[in-house]
Amino acid sequence: MLNALATEARPGVVPAKAALVIRPRQEIQRLMRAEASERAAEQTPEELIAAVAEQRDREAFIGLFRLFAPRIKAYLMRQGADPASAEDLVQDVMLTVWHRAGQFDRRKAAVSTWIFTIARNRRIDTLRRIRRPEFDPEDPALVREPETAPDAHVEASERSKRLHEAVATLPKEQESLLRLVYFEDKSHSVIAEELGLPLGTVKSRLRLAMAKLRAALETLE
């Protein structure tokens, strides 16, 4: 609004017409919702999830929902879920986010990482119906690092941001291969077959991509 007025005051510039007309009620509501999600967009997912965990903040949850639900759905559908079961799973994942927000630890993971692991595990349980063995962080038999992890002093969200930038600089063939590997629930040999590449090429492309991503992270440490 302020911008519109400023524009209006400037001589020689035709003011945007829309700023002057009286808007119908529906339109105002739409704008208010848009502003609400803008506010949500101004906060990082980490802040949103903290608000959910500490104040059971529904606005913040809606912000997270708008950010992640369509992406989780796309992820599940690429894994072969039909739209209806993808929808059910998305709701499931988002309810888990609401209920377990208190367990999210921003030092350990970015919100996107945490939500990815929840979606991945729900997918394996529900769509693949197999088990995914996992180590138990509380297991007395677990072998621990002798000293503090070098990553520990960097915010997890900062690492994810760096990864994000690094993914964007990968050669197209490596980036799309990563997406195939993460999103299509196929073994590397099946992917190689479908791409018409030798398995060794797929593996070496992955290795190259990982080396670059690792190098990008290491500049943080």
Partner 1 sequence: MIPTHHPSDDYLIAYAAGSLEEPLSLVVATHLALCPRCRKEVERLEALGGVLLEDEAAAETATDERALDSVLSRLDAPAPIAPGPIAPGPIATGPIATAPKPRQAAPGDLRVPAPLRDYLGGGLEQLDWKAHKGFDEAELLSDAPGFRTRLMRIKSGTAMPAHTHRGNELTLVLTGGFSDEHGHFLRGDLAEADASVKHQPIADPGEDCICLAVTDAPLRLTGPVGRLLNPFLRI
Contact yes or no for 104/49 (Cβ under 8 A): yes
Considering the complex, what minimum distance in angstroms separates the CB of residue 35 from partner 1?
Answer: 16
Considering the complex, what minimum distance in angstroms separates the CB of residue 24 from partner 1?
Answer: 19
Contact between 69 and partner 1 by CB under 8 A: the answer reads yes
Residue among 15 and 191 whose Cβ is closer to partner 1? 191
Contact between 216 and partner 1 by CB under 8 A: the answer reads no
Q: Which residue has the tokens 């960097």?
A: 154
Contact yes or no for 114/104 (Cβ under 8 A): yes
Contact between 200 and partner 1 by CB under 8 A: the answer reads no
Stretch that binds partner 1, among 2-10, 14-22, 24-32, 174-182 (CB under 8 A): 174-182
The footprint of partner 1 on residues 77-96 (CB under 8 A) is 87, 90-92, 94-96
For partner 1 (CB under 8 A), the number of binding residues is: 87
Residue among 15 and 69 whose Cβ is closer to partner 1? 69
- Alpha carbon distance 170, 80 (integer Å): 26
Identified binder of partner 1 from the candidate list 36, 62, 154, 197, rule CB under 8 A: 62
Contact between 145 and partner 1 by CB under 8 A: the answer reads yes
The footprint of partner 1 on residues 15-54 (CB under 8 A) is none
